[in-house]
Amino acid sequence: RASNLPVMDGMFGLSDPYCTVQLGSPEAIPGKTFSTAVQYNKLDPIWNDTFIFPIDFHERVVKGDAKVVLHLHVYDYDAMSQHDLIGFCCMDVSQLLDQAMHEGGTTSCCESRWIKLQQTVKEKATTIFGRNRKVSQIKVTTQVTIPLSDIADKGSQGGTSPAQGIHAGRNNQIGRAHV
């Protein structure tokens, strides 16, 4: 969901917002970028959509400090022309991922928060203000789960860290983004 989006469709119109969600690269990658439905004539849309992403656990273990970032872009749908970018935001889910690894995958780790939408003006990110000069923002709920099938017997690993009891294979974790 989003709140206080700016009017994009003329002086007396509203906006027809939709949101794209991408894990990793901010550039849209076919098949890995998800999109909500368009909410016509809304400045406070409620999409209520959930997207599921595989997360490369092996890369997180090997690199250690590699960030896992969720990129969201909110657009105004235009039937006759190119869709207009209303704003974007990023959510670093690395800490949530680390928490899931630390807990050994026995629970899902979840975080929900409002994030300010931004736009780039002269190569500088600036906050977007919508109706009544209030900050435009989007609410994102993220959840990270390590499937139980990927948790090894910790006793056979000989380690004390729960993360050591997880097979370091590829795409072991599931990330969910709800907008």
For the segment 45-98, what is each residue's pLDDT rounded down to a tens digit?
A: 999 999 988 776 665 555 566 678 899 999 999 988 899 999 999 998 888 877
User: At 144, is the pLDDT very low, low, confident or very high (cuts 50, 70, 90)?
Assistant: confident
Answer yes or no: pTM beyond 0.95: no
In the prediction, which pLDDT does 121 show? 83
Q: Is the pLDDT of residue 138 over 90?
A: yes
pLDDT grade for 156, boundaries at 50, 70 and 90 = very low
What value does the mean pLDDT take over residues 151-169? Answer: 37
For residues 149 and 174, give the distance between their C-alpha atoms in angstroms, rounded to a whole number.
12
| pLDDT, mean of residues 14-27 | 87
Q: Is the pLDDT of residue 155 over 90?
A: no
What is the full DSSP assignment across 58-117? Answer: HHHHHHSS---EEEEEEEE--SSSPPEEEEEEEEE-HHHHHHHHHTTTSS-EEEEEEEE-
| Continuous segment of H or E residues that includes residue 119 | strand 118-121
What is Dmax (Cα atoms) for the chain? Answer: 67
- The C-alpha atoms of residue 71 and residue 75 are separated, in whole angstroms, by 13
